[in-house]
Structure formats: C-alpha cells, structure tokens
A and B are shown apart, each in its own frame.
Chain A
C-alpha cells in the first residue's frame, strides 16, 4: 500500500529538548515536504526537498532543520523546541511536476 508514515503521532515535550519527527514514504517519490497547521493560519510549508541531499526553506523554516540522506526518509528536527512550535505537523510527498501530494497522518506536537 502506497503511504507516508510519520512518527511519533503525538508528542509532548519541554522547551529546549531536541526532538526528531520521522517521515518515510514507500512510493519512490523525489519530492517531500513538511508543513505545520495552526488554527486560522492553515497549512504552511516549513521545508521541502527536491531529491536526496537537496533541501530548501519553505515559508516558515525558523527553528527547524531537515535532512534527506535517503530518498524515502525526510526527518524534521527541532534542535531547541519552543512553545510557539506547538502545532500539527504533516509530511507530504509527490512524484513530480503537478502530481498529487500524499500526506502523512500527522504529528501533534506540544511544547511546554
């Protein structure tokens, strides 16, 4: 089954404690992306990757890092989380130009 998986699905942490949210896709897609979703602000892109070792900032990259060492994986790293990063995070992938974005199930992060 074609899918995008994220882990963990729920996470409560404290300010400053480094964390990683994993994302994996089994569709051999080149393009992957991370979004955060906040009430009243909608889905906003954090980072995206066009292929292995190729990443770029989205609209709200501050406080986040990503890496793309393998085609299937695109982890999101919060080096020093802060309460304003409390949000619902989605990973997405698509095969190429104009293709459908497949979203992961989401990770609800709370930073205390």
Chain B
C-alpha cells in the first residue's frame, strides 16, 4: 500500500463545474495535509493546507479532512481552464512534521 494514494486521472470537468480531488493516506499519526498544484514542467505551488478535521475554505478552493477515514480532498468550485494541472496531495510522516510524503498526483483537465 502506498503511503499517499491518488487517482492519476485524467479527471475531466466542464468549465464552471465543481472539481473533486481525493487522496487517502496510510499513516494514522499524520497531522499536516497539503494540496499542491503543478503545471506541466513547473514546480509545485501550495494551494491549501489543513490540520484539523472538517472543511477549510479559501476562495474557490475547499480542503476537507477526515482523519478517522484517513481521507483528504480538495474541491474547486467554478472550475476554470487555468485550473487544468496536476494536483499533488502531501502528508507529513508522523513524528517528522517537516517530512512530506507526496502522492503521484491527479491530472485535472477543465473542458471549456
């Protein structure tokens, strides 16, 4: 079992719709959860981080965390073509807050 799992996609979403990206993790002691966006050939950039169970909203983005189910998701409302990218889920290893484990990413394609 991979430490952080994501569906590789591609996930195709019509422009203006809600894109839902999912991630599961295996380390029950993980405390910090991050979503990065990566355009092709570019470096990852942080979109959201979440530390507590529940929802966290920032503009069009909402991160959701359920530690009991070891599940974290990212919702993108009113999807735009510029949201087309690979989204990386990252989780810290328990006992090592600076040590992130990345999923392989989900390719999101927004259809105009």
Contact = CB atoms under 8 A, between A and B. Distances in A.
B72 to A, nearest CB: 15
Given A98-B32, A98-B97, A105 B43 contact: yes
Contacts of A44: 102
Interface string A94-106: 1001101101111
Interface in A29-66: 31, 33, 35, 40-45, 48, 50, 58
B13 interface: no
Interface residues of B, number: 22
A45 B100 contact: yes
Contacts of A41: 104
Given A40-B104, A42-B105, A94 B98 contact: yes
B102 A42 contact: yes
B45 interface: yes
A74 interface: no
The secondary-structure label for the interface of chain A is: strand
Interface string B2-34: 000000100000000000000000000000101
Contact of B44 (A48, A90, A97): A90
B42 interface: yes
B106 to A, nearest CB: 11
A35 B88 CA distance: 14
B51 A98 contact: yes
A58 B98 CA distance: 11
Contact of A101 (B8, B41, B46): B46
Contacts of B41: 106
A103 B43 contact: yes
A45 B104 contact: no
Contacts of A104: 43
24 contacts: A31-B98, A33-B98, A40-B8, A40-B104, A42-B88, A42-B103, A43-B44, A43-B88, A43-B102, A45-B100, A58-B99, A90-B44, A97-B98, A98-B49, A98-B97, A100-B46, A100-B49, A101-B46, A101-B100, A103-B43, A105-B42, A106-B41, A106-B42, A106-B43
